[in-house]
Amino acid sequence: MVRLQSVIPNRAFIRYDWCMTSGALPKSSAAPTIALALGAGGARGLAHVAVLEALDDLGLAPVEIAGTSMGAILGAAYAAGMSGRDIRAHLLGLLRDRADVMQKLLRARVGRFTDLFSGANPVLIDGEVFLDLFWPAIVPDRFEQLKIPFTAIATDYVGRCEAAMNSGPLAPAVAGSMAIPGLIKPVQANGRILVDGGAVNPLPFRGLVSRADVVIAVDVTGGPVAERAGPPAPFEAMFGTAQIMQHAITAEMLKVSQPDILLVPLVNGFRVLDFFKAAQILSAASPMRDEIKRRIDVILEARHAAS
């Protein structure tokens, strides 16, 4: 079974503690329009794939998608026309070859080992080069070429505010959305300096409210993984603190407004950079496939009863 926590009437907040199986949508029911918000969370964001697969199973293409950080990377690929199954296959195939991944990361690196002596970061990654190396070839150059309207959420570093981008060059916007400080270099685009969108909007559902019959948001922020007693290592502390911040921001956002369906997969046991655990993350997220079908089924039945 799945525990449902009702916070506001007619809003379903779903936290996955157990697995359940449900039937498909009634064939006679009219399909609702769906808007999809995919949140930030590093490797935990691979859980978004299960949601995309569920929508494919139902034959429901979102009318709009918004994504932050990892949610932007996967959201753009889905908006380009890839199926959830194709994205899963691409990820698992890519991450199966560690040597190839490491070679690509070295090609995307803008830092140099000599930077250790100048105080700079020797492992800094160029996000646009990273996307060029890791994104599927189907992802186009511009937002306007996507099959589904898509918005990437980044942070305007100088303006200290959210930067929501849905037109123009795609790669700089998504690279800015994923520009985790200390790991991926900031992006200069449209006269702005862009950094990680998780700093201002880790779960970008607010701009989708009223844009579709059903707004689905997937929260993969969670918290840091405590692997041992005592203080965390410096690198762990940096990412763990960011996760705490993003989780706190999301909690405050949900006090103001809520999506129709909030999905929180049980992926807290995975770290931000656990990408080589993709198969385990996808397995942990698998209960969402049936639950999304069940929740949309409930919404359709309610609409049918009201008509």
Beta strands, E only, the chain: 3-5, 12-15, 34-38, 64-68, 150-156, 161-165, 187-189, 192-195, 214-218, 261-264
Sign of the dihedral through C-alpha 248, 250, 255, 261: negative
**Placement of tokens 């379903």 in the chain:** 12
Q: Which of 197, 128, 119, 204 is nearest to 157 (CA)?
A: 197
- The yes-or-no answer on residue 97 being catalytic is no
* DSSP letter, residue 232: P
- The yes-or-no answer on residue 196 being catalytic is yes
Q: Which of 211, 81, 78, 88 is nearest to 152 (CA)?
A: 78
Contacting residues for 195 by C-beta, under 8 A, at least 6 apart? 154, 155, 157, 176, 179, 180, 181, 186, 187
Catalytic residue among 126, 156, 196, 219: 196
What span, in angstroms and rounded, lies between the C-alpha atoms of 307 and 293? 21
Contacting residues for 112 by C-beta, under 8 A, at least 6 apart? 122
* DSSP letter, residue 202: S
Q: Which DSSP string do the residues of 12-45 spell out, in sequence order?
A: EEEE-SS----PPPPTTSPPPPEEEEE---GGGG
The packing angle between helices 278-285 and 48-58, to 10°, is 50
Active-site positions? 69, 196
